[in-house]
Amino acid sequence: MAELFATALLLDIGSWTLILLGGFFSIVGGIGLIRLPDFYSRLHAAGIADTLGAALIISGMVLQTHGDGVTIRLLLIGSFIFLTSPTSTHALARAALATGMPHWRRSVDDGIDIESANRDDLTASSIGDSPNTSADV
């Protein structure tokens, strides 16, 4: 009996920790969404809130279930958010780059030119090396 109580207490502590951490990251992501200077950096804030915050909160909830259908549903929701949220963030970033959305004035050039993003062949070759750094110039 005492062991059962101890286990429940441990699970409660774990749930509290995970949910509070998840809430913290989620609120930090929200603040970042307000405060960061341009669209591309706001993507980063939204990514934190969408993946880390959501995953931590859902893990906290999973600890409160009893290994039945509820657990499976929660894990399904978690894995689905974990798959789709980065996908739509990537699609957003790509669409914004193809539209020619300007960077923040203090951003560092990463060698991706907007023209090649417009051509719909944004592959590893166009991301990899900028012309200035290639050795055979």
Partner 1 sequence: MFTAAVVAILVTMGLALSRALMGPTVFDRILSLNMVGTKTTLLIAALGFLAERPEFLDIAIVYALINFIGSIAVLKFIKYRDLSASGDVQNGRA
Which of helix, strand or coil describes residue 32? helix
Whether the CB-CB separation of 11 and 64 falls below 8 Å is answered with: yes
Distances (CA, A) of 125 to 21, 114, 121, 129: 39, 14, 9, 7
Q: Closest separation between CB of residue 135 and partner 1, Å?
A: 31
Nearer to partner 1, 83 or 134 (CB): 83
Q: How far is the CB of 101 from partner 1 (least distance, A)?
A: 7
Nearest approach in angstroms of CB 134 to partner 1 is 26
Q: Which residues bind partner 1 (CB under 8 A)?
A: 12, 15-16, 19-20, 22-24, 26-27, 29-31, 33-34, 39, 42-43, 46, 49-50, 53-54, 57-58, 60-61, 64, 69-70, 73-74, 76-77, 80-81, 84-85, 87-89, 91-92, 95-96, 98-99, 101, 118-120
The burial class, CB within 10 Å (0-12 / 13-18 / 19+), for 74 is middle
